[in-house]
Amino acid sequence: MRILSAPRNVWCEPPVTTAGVLVDGDDYYRALYAAAAEAQHYILLAGWQFDSDACLLRGEEAQSAALPVTLLAFLDALCARNPDLHVYILAWDFHVVFALEREFMQAQRFNWTTNDRLRFMFDDNHVDGASHHQKFAVIDGELAFLGGLDLCDQRWDDRGHTVPNPLRSSRGTPHKPFHDLQAYIVGHEAVGAITSLFAARWAAAGGGPLALPTAAPRLAGYAPTGATALPTARVALSRTDPRGYPEGTPDRREIFTLYADAIDRAQRLIYIETQYLSSKDLGEVLMQRIRAPGRSALDIAIVINHQAQTIKEEIAIGLAQAKVIAELRHAATGTEHRLGIYYTVPATEDDSEPDSATYIHSKMMIVDDRLLTVGSANLTNRSLGIDTELNVTVESETDGDDLGRAIYRLRHELISEHLGLEDFGPAEDRRLVDALCDLAARREGRLRIHPSPTDEERAALAVIDPQQLPFDPDAYETHDHTKSIFVDGLGVLWRRISGGDASQG
């Protein structure tokens, strides 16, 4: 029985001529640069964050490039070269808590210093307390990229994830290794659906209607460098969106339902990469599958970040994630299921243990090597409940078909990348999680067992229920729309810890 089912967990399932996955910013940025350079009529960019100086090409490629390699200069040069080209950029109108992490006067920089056919707009037309978190690009209505990668600072890395790497820097400063995924799809019908989503958001944000011409098909054999091709005739698009863009049907939570249905149907394997794992409801879905009587034993392998980057992130997500991880491990203990939760460290020149981990930013799941979903949605309450998100999913028709084999290859490529091995392939008589845990315990390769919940997290969880804090909500709070999810959240946390009034000090 198929897992994909519209409208239950799918917005639409249009045909494609080509589809695949790009791993890490090096391959994605290169592919986007090449595709945008060939754009004839329009480029649409939607994201959580953009930076004008995001560098799309590095090293020798940058030195030999005929056009600028930083985002804004590149797009402006394309408009100057092609009088028929229009560029539309739609960015989340971020909360003040992120102000120090964003470019100053960005709208003015993008709109006042560039060609008139390059238009940038902030989009704050989402439910209170939410964000626009979709990350996609459209070229001439025929090619689209979507996934977890924004065109901004500190997102570029190659698949080696080595330290040091002189090419992995932003604004002259080195940044940590960074891992992510971006899918691509080709076909006017599939890309047209994403184009309609962008146009609906653009109009709702105040940009007015978009008149976008239809380009002649020219990318049927599209195959970007480094991609894993997915031999499929159709893809499924799924959303999180309380406003229901583009058709205005409210409360679309197709991504959560897709994850829940796929986990429930899993027969032998669930492989997940996610920036965060704090969704209470998805944790319950995993535990229900683990505890279900009479069901087949699963290998559940999850790769996430080692730790939060900032105190803000730890408060907002870290404690909730620690609780979910603790509950999952408890549920799997004593069962036939194998649960492995890992982080990964970068490669070093002398093979010493690095002092930081590779940042996992990908949002993907593979089930039984038959279903693959890639997108912008983290496994948080927010991403699965109130933020705007977009995922693309493929599902094989029969066991071991061409698509199933491609999904299998991608999974092994990703695990090999995280281990730092040329090719990971456990013996036939060893289960995946047993093999990975053995390698991690012996520190053979670069995977490590995730330490959460730590002693500090256990102590905090003894007095705080993080799911009751409004940092990571799973629903639109209707009782008081005047309070900030961030400011109010800090007040709640302070009152829980101190027993006092958050307004003092």
* pLDDT tens readout for residues 92-109: 986 655 655 667 777 788
Q: Residues 363-392: pLDDT tens digits?
A: 999 999 999 999 999 999 999 999 999 999
Q: Are 120 and 91 in contact (CB under 8 A)?
A: yes
Task: Write down the mean pLDDT value for the chain.
Answer: 89
- pLDDT score of 432 more than 50: yes
Q: Residues 190-226: pLDDT tens digits?
A: 999 999 999 999 999 999 999 899 888 888 889 999 9
Q: Are 376 and 277 in contact (CB under 8 A)?
A: no
More confident residue, 501 or 198: 198
Residue 294: per-residue pLDDT? 95
| Region of residue 420 (left: phi > 0; alpha: psi -120 to 50; beta: else) | left
Tokens, residue 275 = 């920036």
Q: How do strand 363-367 and strand 371-375 relate by DSSP bridges?
A: antiparallel
User: Which range, of 80-84, 135-139, 469-473, averages the lowest pLDDT?
Assistant: 469-473
Q: Residues 275-291: pLDDT tens digits?
A: 999 999 999 999 999 99
- pLDDT score of 489 more than 60: no
Is the pTM here over 0.85, yes or no?
yes
Q: Are 463 and 496 in contact (CB under 8 A)?
A: yes
User: Which range, of 43-52, 82-91, 292-301, 488-497, averages the lowest pLDDT?
Assistant: 488-497
Residue 498: per-residue pLDDT? 39
Residues in a beta bridge with 240: 253, 389
DSSP 3-state of 21: strand
- pLDDT score of 471 more than 90: no
Residue 102: per-residue pLDDT? 61
Residue 463: per-residue pLDDT? 83
Question: CB count, 10 Å around CB of 249?
Answer: 13
Q: Residues 307-357: pLDDT tens digits?
A: 877 776 777 788 899 999 999 999 999 999 999 999 999 999 888 888 889
Any idea what DSSP says for residue 204? I
Q: Are 276 and 321 in contact (CB under 8 A)?
A: yes
Residue 422: per-residue pLDDT? 79
Q: Residues 37-65: pLDDT tens digits?
A: 999 999 999 999 999 999 999 999 999 99
Residue 486: per-residue pLDDT? 42
Residue 98: per-residue pLDDT? 60
Tokens, residue 472 = 């990571």
- pLDDT score of 472 more than 50: yes
Residue 490: per-residue pLDDT? 43
Nearest to 233 by CA among 187, 274, 266: 187
Residue 314: per-residue pLDDT? 72
Residues 6+ apart with CB under 8 A from 462: none
